Chains A and B, each alone.
Chain A
């Protein structure tokens, strides 16, 4: 009941005209940027960060949440109408959504996706309201060794669960951790990797790293391999669903969050796995199995709902533990830190107005998104026709704005370019970007927690494993690390079958 009254207070915060305006601006911008081909939610959030610099924290984060959810709504439009999704979570939506659009059922696909996002987001956010304060309460007691263990878990999980090559994931993580080292040591003021440069002594701003890796790196990589003669988007009318469609989609909409939410909350890479699991589930449960692969509406409804719910799940661990599980959440964490706010168990006590205002605005944002996405889908679809040179020139332009706005120094643009070139190299050689960004953001915090824990134990390494919680987390880490070995021993055949079906 306690969280219910807090939530009502939150609505009080979110429903002020100014905050409502920023929420509306956020969902509009988020949808627009999300629809633009080639821009996933992480890049959208990174590019739009500077927009919020001049705002007070609550307004900024409310706008941000709108961008986050808006980006996901917009992204499914791209994958359905263009077929080549810009981000991993939208891959599944394209499997069924694009054939539907091709066979003239694009309107139904868009509607199933939009309502799926709405349902998943709603259910996910309700679960967030119910669970976040509980988890925050539990987490208040956990200490430095536990935090360190959790962060190591995040590192291991993003490098091991996702991606095709672990070693490349680790390489990426270490690059991120190294970037995180640059600057003054937080505890002693010792300069690290600054090479005597005053500019580097301040450290490299996380925003610049995020914008560099996501936006500049991506734009340069696309520039190197720009596809000539893009196939245009499939024209589409206003989204609507016939009664027979609703009969097929309401169950997937409700099942999606059950799969999506828990996966969002754990560091397993966000929406990629749950959307796929939801797809497989719907395929198994459907009465129209033969339609799968040729445009089955269940295959759009379920995964899209799971994706939105996983976004809400992501917020649980981000807000209560300060642990980002996706690239988008990592950038959001950076946004929090920009305002000197540290997400964690104490956030709910220290900044109740902000947190509950943010959560309430998620509910409002969802309604706004449904409103602007259902009737206006054909308008958004027009954005897909943007000439590619303008699109990527625009990305570079706004990346420059964002990096420059951080501190108003031109040197930041040079650093941005260097990090962008690193991002280009990573894409060329298959190093995933997510571990790097998690490394940059969590690395310094993990180091602090480690040193604090070892300080308490007077340097003995046992200080890292002296709580049951930490031991449990390390056991999970060991399991993740040994999983390929275990799987090979137990089910050598099943593993191969699953991998085969993952690449549609």
Chain B
């Protein structure tokens, strides 16, 4: 998150032209996915915005972050396998470290091969879909907002119970996604959350925490 200002400073102004707008998110993408993987941040950080001609190179470079991430996971898995206490309780000739070792080495190999592929101009095709506009600049702010709302829900659910936390999750997510019906959204959220709670808790036999609200009712 710390290096965001520099990247923002260099990138955001370049948004209007189609091409630059498209790779601007790459830099910030690393930050958005910071919880998921720092590798992407590294890849995004190294990319320097330039004219549209360098676009392919830029995109390729941000994908190198995936390689770094795979490499990191591979090293992690291998280190974990090496430090395993394999002496005890071993049954048979193959211990618990065998599979991680194979997977770890495979991760390193794939990371290298992917790097080669990316450097030779190969690139991952971003997934399309019904509501996805691949030509639009990415809204990493929305993603961050959603992640924040989701985390808040995780912390709230034990405190205030599911009906309230769930309603806040839906409302917050809808707001992050651009819904601005200030009367309708909370109402939909509250109804959805309470109905879901009742159906799961009382009809389907899946317990959810009611929280103070349900104790009052």
Contact = CB atoms under 8 A, between A and B. Distances in A.
B144 to A, nearest CB: 10
B36 to A, nearest CB: 3
B151 A424 contact: no
B9 interface: no
B66 A410 contact: no
Interface string B175-199: 1111100000000100011001000
B119 interface: no
Size class of the contact patch on chain A = 35 or more
Contacts of B207: 408
A124 interface: no
Contacts of A161: none
Contacts of B70: 171, 174-175
Contacts of B173: 389, 392-393, 396-397
Nearest to A454: B94
Given A389-B174, A429-B66, A431-B124, A190 B147 contact: no
B130 A418 contact: no
Given A178-B103, A389-B178, A38 B129 contact: yes
Contacts of B178: 226, 389
Given A174-B103, A455-B93, A167 B25 contact: no
Size class of the contact patch on chain B = 35 or more
Contacts of B157: 404, 410, 413
Contacts of A227: 131-133, 136
A394 B63 CA distance: 31
Contacts of B69: 425
A202 B157 CA distance: 22
A413 B153 contact: yes
Interface stretch (A1-9, A82-90, A237-245): A82-90
A178 B107 contact: yes
Contacts of A404: 157, 162, 208
Contacts of A121: none
Contact of B179 (A218, A387, A431): A387
A422 B37 contact: yes
Interface string B75-91: 01100110011101111
B200 A224 contact: no
Nearest to A390: B174
A174 B110 contact: yes
Given A54-B204, A421-B147, A181 B77 contact: yes
Contact of A84 (B84, B107, B129): B129
Interface string A42-85: 00000000111111000000000000000000000010001011
A394 B151 CA distance: 16
B87 to A, nearest CB: 10
B99 A450 contact: yes
A223 B35 CA distance: 17
A52 to B, nearest CB: 8
Given A178-B107, A425-B40, A455 B84 contact: no
Interface string B5-30: 00000000000000000000100010
B6 to A, nearest CB: 21
A189 interface: yes
Interface string A165-185: 101101100110110010001
Nearest to A86: B130
A431 B127 CA distance: 9
A430 interface: yes
Contact of B35 (A178, A190, A421): A421
Contacts of B66: 171, 425, 429, 431
Given A171-B114, A425-B33, A429-B126, 8 more contacts: A171-B70, A187-B96, A404-B208, A425-B69, A430-B125, A430-B127, A431-B124, A447-B99
18 contacts: A167-B122, A168-B124, A174-B110, A181-B99, A220-B143, A220-B146, A222-B132, A225-B134, A226-B132, A228-B133, A410-B158, A417-B151, A422-B36, A422-B37, A428-B124, A430-B124, A451-B94, A459-B92
A-B pairs, top 3 by smallest CB distance, nearest first, are A430-B124, A54-B205, A459-B93
